[in-house]
Amino acid sequence: MTSEPSIESRGEVSFAFAITAKLHRQRADELLNQIGLHVGQETLLDVLWTEGEITQTELANRLGIQPATLTIALKRLEKNGLVVRSRDPEDRRVSRVQASSKSSELREGVMLAWARLEHETVSNLTEPERALLAILLNKVTDGLSDG
């Protein structure tokens, strides 16, 4: 009986990358759940903490996500009192978003969670390996962005 090639044998790097990405996301979610957030919410809040009030369109572009996906995420964060949305006074069709003061209380926890995730992610690598990994991942990102 001839066995068919597996996904792993057809794409060794992609398969390893998928497994790593899945584990990384699971660990990030575990760490963020400890402070009441889910993966993705922290990056959205980080943009708002860094940039202040911006339009929903600017936020979607900055995060590289679809406006509909952002709307769902914002509803959840708004329900939990972590963001405030308002209409632009000059153009009522435009919705503006800002981090709430309540969300600012989570900022240190987010930074600690990401620092711990970073440590766990690269703890088995030497400094030169870490630097090389960052370079290679950026090249992978560029390649996927072009495709």
Question: Above 80 in pLDDT, residue 14?
Answer: yes
As a whole number of angstroms, the distance between CA 37 and CA 108 comes to 13
pLDDT value of position 99: 97
Pick the residue with more confidence: 88 or 143? Answer: 143
pLDDT value of position 133: 95
Cα dihedral 86, 89, 94, 96, rounded to 10, equals -40
Question: Above 90 in pLDDT, residue 2?
Answer: no
What is the reported pTM? 0.83
Query: Is-contact 126 115, C-beta < 8 A?
Result: no
Residues of the chain above pLDDT 90, percent: 82
pLDDT value of position 8: 64
pLDDT tens sequence across 26-62: 999 999 999 999 999 999 999 999 999 999 999 999 9
Domains in the chain, please, with CATH?
11-110 (1.10.10.10)
pLDDT tens sequence across 67-97: 999 999 999 999 999 999 999 888 888 899 9
Strand partners, 99: 83
